[in-house]
C-alpha cells in the first residue's frame, strides 16, 4: 500500500514529539521539578498553573495531600489485586510519599511544559491513528497504531501515579521503560509506511546477531541507568552532595559502567568491519552516537554529574536505542555470509 507523503511526515513528527517528551522528562528530573505540580492532569487545580503562591489558598498543601492519599490508596488496592500486597503495604506506609513541597513557580512551569509536550505527543498519535483508520485500514497497521495509543494513555495515567507517589523510584523506572516501548512501536509503524526505511540493507548474519545483542544490552543499560538515578535520589535525601555521589553509588552503577565498555567493544568492532567492507550508514551513525554517549558518561562519572550532561546522556542513549532498532528492522542477511 502506498501512503501519502503528508501522512509519512506527520508520523515522523509524532516520533520526534515522543522523543521530546523523554527529553523534557529528563530536564524535569535534573531540575528537581517532578513535584512542581502536585496533582494531575491539572496543575494546582488549573489548566494554566499560577505564577505566584498568592494565587493559591493558604491550606493548599493540605488540599493536595488529601488528594494524594486517596490516589495512593487506590493504587495500593490495584497492586493488591495483582498479588503485590507487600509492595502495596510498603507504598502506603512510606512517609516520604506524603511530604508536600512548597510552591515554586519555576519548577511548576518546567513540569507544566513537560505535560504540554506529553499532551501534544498523545494528540499527534491520536490524529495519526484516526488518519490510518479512515484512509489506510487495509494496511494491517490500524491495530498496532491503536495499541500504541493505548500504551500512551497508560503512560499518561502512570505519570499521575509517579506524581501521586511523590516520585517513588520504581514508578519512574516503569515510566521510562514504557516510553521506550512506545518509541519502538512508533518507529516500527514508520518502517512499515516509509519507502526510505523499507529499503533493505544486506549484511552478514553475524552483524545482525551483534546488533540484536547490542540492542538488548542498550535496553538493559537504560534500565540500569534509571536504577542509578534512583540511587542518586536516595543519596540526595540522605544529604550527600553531588561531588560524593559516584563514590557512594552501589552495584548498578558499576554494572552500568562495565556494560558500557562491552557495548563500546562490540560496536567498535562492527564499525571497523563495516568501514572495511559494507559501508552501512546506520552502523556508522550508531557508532558516532555511542561515542558521544560514552563521553557524556565519562563526564557524569568524573565531573560530578552536571545536570545538563545527564539530559544529554539520556538523549543519546535513546537515539542509539532507536538507531539499533531501525537497523534490526532493515537488515537482511540473505546472500551474505562473510
Who contacts 317 (Cβ-Cβ below 8 Å, separation ≥6)?
218, 221, 222, 225, 293
pLDDT tens digits, one per residue of 78-135: 888 888 888 788 887 877 777 777 888 888 898 899 889 999 999 999 999 999 999 9
Residue 336 vs residues 197, 202, 205, 284: alpha-carbon distances, Å: 20, 7, 7, 19
**Least reliable range by pLDDT among 46-60, 112-126, 250-264, 274-288:** 250-264
Residue 292 pLDDT:
87
**Least reliable range by pLDDT among 147-151, 231-235, 329-333:** 231-235
Average of pLDDT values for 277-282?
86
Contact by Cβ (8 Å): 200, 332:
yes
Residue 243 pLDDT:
67
Alpha-carbon dihedral sign for residues 40, 120, 143, 23: negative
Residue 75 pLDDT:
83
Rounded mean pLDDT of the chain?
84
Which DSSP string corresponds to 68-121? HHHHHHHHHHHHHHTT-HHHHHHHHT-GGGGPPPPP-HHHHHHHHHHHHHHHHH
**Least reliable range by pLDDT among 67-71, 180-184, 192-196, 317-321:** 67-71
Q: What is this structure's pTM?
A: 0.86
Q: Characterize 136-171 residue by residue with b for buried, 16 or more Cβ atoms within 10 angstroms of its Cβ, and e for exposed.
A: beeeebeebbeebbebbeebbebbebbbbbbbbbeb
Residue 336 pLDDT:
59
> What is the spatial distance between Cα 38 and Cα 41, in angstroms, rounded to a whole number?
10
- The confidence band for 147, taking pLDDT boundaries of 50, 70 and 90, is very high
Half-sphere exposure of 149 (CA within 13 A, CB side): 17
pLDDT tens digits, one per residue of 303-333: 655 567 777 888 888 999 999 999 999 998 8
Contact by Cβ (8 Å): 41, 153:
no
What's the grid cell of residue 244?
A: 560524593
Residue 141 pLDDT:
93
Which alpha helices (H) appear in 199-250, and where do they start and end?
Answer: 205-237, 245-248
Amino acid at each position: 500500500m502506498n501512503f501519502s507523503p503528508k501522512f509519512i511526515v506527520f508520523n515522523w513528527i509524532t516520533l520526534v514529539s515522543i522523543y521530546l517528551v523523554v527529553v523534557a522528562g529528563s530536564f524535569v528530573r535534573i531540575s528537581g521539578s517532578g513535584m512542581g505540580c502536585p496533582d494531575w492532569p491539572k496543575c494546582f487545580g488549573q489548566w494554566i498553573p499560577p505564577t505566584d503562591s498568592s494565587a493559591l489558598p493558604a491550606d493548599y498543601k493540605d488540599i493536595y495531600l488529601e488528594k494524594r492519599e486517596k490516589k495512593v490508596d487506590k493504587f495500593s488496592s490495584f497492586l493488591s489485586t495483582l498479588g503485590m500486597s507487600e509492595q502495596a503495604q510498603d507504598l502506603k506506609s512510606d512517609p516520604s510519599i506524603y511530604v508536600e513541597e512548597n510552591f515554586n513557580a519555576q519548577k511548576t512551569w518546567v513540569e507544566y511544559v513537560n505535560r504540554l509536550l506529553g499532551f501534544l505527543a498523545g494528540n499527534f498519535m491520536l490524529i495519526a491513528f484516526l488518519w490510518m483508520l479512515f484512509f489506510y485500514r487495509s494496511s494491517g497497521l490500524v491495530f498496532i497504531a491503536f495499541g500504541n495509543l493505548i500504551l500512551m494513555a497508560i503512560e499518561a495515567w502512570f505519570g499521575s501515579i509517579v506524581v501521586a507517589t511523590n516520585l517513588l523510584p520504581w514508578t519512574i523506572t516503569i515510566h521510562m521503560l514504557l516510553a521506550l516501548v512506545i518509541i519502538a512501536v512508533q518507529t516500527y509503524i514508520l518502517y512499515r509506511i516509509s519507502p526510505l526505511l523499507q529499503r533493505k540493507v544486506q549484511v552478514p548474519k553475524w552483524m545482525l546477531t551483534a546488533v540484536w545483542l547490542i540492542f538488548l544490552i542498550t535496553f538493559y543499560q537504560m534500565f540500569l541507568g534509571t536504577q542509578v538515578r534512583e540511587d542518586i535520589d536516595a543519596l540526595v535525601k540522605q544529604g550527600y552532595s553531588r561531588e560524593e555521589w559516584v563514590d557512594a553509588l552501589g552495584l548498578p552503577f558499576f554494572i552500568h559502567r562495565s556494560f558500557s565498555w562491552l557495548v563500546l567493544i562490540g560496536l567498535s568492532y562492527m564499525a571497523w568491519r563495516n568501514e572495511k567492507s559494507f559501508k552501512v550508514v546506520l552502523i556508522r551513525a550508531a557508532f558516532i552516537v555511542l561515542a558521544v554517549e560514552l563521553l557524556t558518561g565519562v563526564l557524569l562519572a568524573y565531573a560530578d554529574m552536571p545536570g545538563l550532561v545527564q539530559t544529554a546522556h539520556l538523549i543519546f542513549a535513546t537515539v542509539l536505542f532507536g538507531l539499533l532498532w531501525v537497523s534490526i528492522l532493515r537488515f537482511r542477511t540473505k546472500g551474505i555470509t562473510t
